[in-house]
Structure 1
């Protein structure tokens, strides 16, 4: 076989990271994945693994779990170094995941298991220890994260390093609770041996550039958004012109918010308006999972149930999409930047709720004004925030997946365009049914895996006190992970010891009030 021919091979995650030293080719872009991209990868892996794993399984059973395909990546080799041409976003994120999983294994005293990951994370080359992703700009960051020292992001950190730090924070703060305990060694086995990629090896750097161009500039496959557009427009009579312009305007305005916003909106809209929601008696539906994937296929398969029968039905859906997209953009902006009127929308996004907008859109009527939409959004977001905080203090699962499940449950209750008064009544009834309150706050404390949650609660308490004292609302700054706030003191754990003491006639001891370290 000629040495310059393009070759491909299916490789497990373990094979991808074994005995290699990766660097970026000159034309590769830097790491750009945001929190939502990392969450999506984690959640996809969690769902696939959880569909197979059972506590009673022997670990050898993992070999029969369904595999998961993470897509292709392109590389070429030169001087014993593997240069990534395409796919570094996934491989970088997997590298960070291996570092975090090693930390979890060590916390469970599974040192042999952790050592297996160490050999994938780092290797020795010519007498020195190097990370498998040997990228100079990341070396200090990776060393400190690997050593579990914690990393302080410099104020002048470049964008790529900031993205890397944010991705690492997602693992530290939002990794699913269900994968941390008994399931952890099983999950690691499955990740290393059951998750695979196709490695496409170019013969030369020039050939790698040609593949990169071909995959990113020419012949790009249509995604779910374009396929849904084609399906809807193909069913509309050509006489009433303008549907295509409405679609393009809607998608373009969403894309201006975020590159993933058009796709996220369409999924949220379909869940809010049409998906069959699992019921409380245990029956379930796969609609939400199918919509979270290739949603255009779900629409085509359920066209009749969605009322898509005549040409006018398809056109009406496109017009409705534009109306709801306008509301979605308002909520997306509030999720990204703190706005006091929609504070809980920001709080929920901070805590990883990716589907909080679905119950809002379920409660919104197409004829609602922007003010009415905001009023409904505030009620729904406040409810979800209250559920989160109560779950936190009761040490109940609070992963983004758990919170999204509650948001999806609300969708079934709120559909139909409830007016604001009725929406408030429904949510008040749901609050009254919650089986947990704030009694557990008396014993709530700091643990190894809830520092971010404790910091969140202390920030909220601080912000509330300051706002109540007519000081400025600083919640946006307190929850900005790039800012160096370290809130360690909030209330004495033996408050009665630190009450102001009156000056005795015989004593010169001044009145004093002390703050002690919080019991958590």
Structure 2
């Protein structure tokens, strides 16, 4: 392996060399900002020095008075007579678009520059009647041809993909920029000389016949390829070019990557981190070996290679890309969509997201096998049990730092490709084991009032307090078959002073309430913080209740959330639905005209009953 640095100007870089971009490279993704940064770089020195020259000096000599500019590096690799552009495709595509627009601008009647043929020779060469574009975007040559022929932008067919669409969009930007900057024939010609002879770029030519190995080596040299770009080269580079085309492998890769990038840039790297962990990892410590930054290396080594079998294995690689890669990226995207909003039946993924929990990705991908017929049921089960284990650990003071991270990988290992019938018991076993460990005594059931009875505001994260009360509200609205009128997001996340929801203490800090607890301030503070003494109130209502007496607070609670209104006598008048709901679940809901230690205990026990129903 050797890397040969070769300095070139742009005339030399774009001179009869056909750069292949046909199987491993990412699509052309530059948007307005990076295109304009490149244009700004090209014109920065030019504009500073040009004003000092004047138009009496001919353009060629005028360009020599402008400072040279270094445009970074690009990386090539020659295999079997073909030159592959390993890194630099985004810049080279943009430069080609600049050459095309320079060619059209120079051909305008007001210019008729003698340099347009020189510019054209940077865009393509000829073989008989054929135009051979130096930047060989195999799928998008028709778009490149249309741009060169100066067809109206809106008439150019961009159906070949994102690369074509971005080439057209960026060509508009480039045309407008050049028209603004190059307003005279002298400026135009001087800029062309400057661009082609004074802009320098360093070619790093990698001498390596093993195409997949090139990407790893290039990355070792610090070139800014992303992990999934390197992986694409190492995977697709194993496959015969004819098969790549006939099987549509490159199209498969790009389609799946594009689908994930709807959720964020380089989401594909997050997917591979999670996918590998879901199939290999059993502990949090081991999971740290496999990250979104290094998976392209470890995918071909040790236990990961033992599972995936992709190293120098074209047959297996083709099967993987046509099957597992499609299925699991689609599954990952599905989870992303489902967790983004409340979807009935899959609502627990949304609840997980409200609590910033991501472990369902690993566990669901672990539980599902290729084309799993029980996929939806597994998503529902895992979303529910993940929420359940997270909630019950919090409500019993058994949640400590990293406990969920440890559980995610332990559970993931145990449910790997297991049936829906087996999954709940596995979660239950891990929950009981964790409670036993944290309580340092034998625990035989998932929820115990003894562990719940003292839990209060100070024991739980603020967001979890709000989440817990929002789930109580959801349970009641669902049971009463009335609309859940406030969004979970508003109840759990919105802390604004007007519409945001806040924790309300039923027992305000005042002398009357303190007296109910024998004027013991420590006991009063502990008791008033218990979950049975808390409500959710919208910001302005919460502020207005202040230090009111309980009898005055009841008016504040009217017209708020249903759980709050269950304290009010009027709520029960002729409310058949509430009475039936109360009877169905044996809750013992009743109005409370006063609120002291006994009523607080009653409400706390009532919440415990609801916990057992919601997280049964």
Q: TM-score, normalised by structure 2?
A: 0.41
Q: Could you say which structure has the larger radius of gyration?
A: 2
Higher relative contact order (CA 8 A, sep 6+): 1
Q: TM-score, normalised by structure 1?
A: 0.49
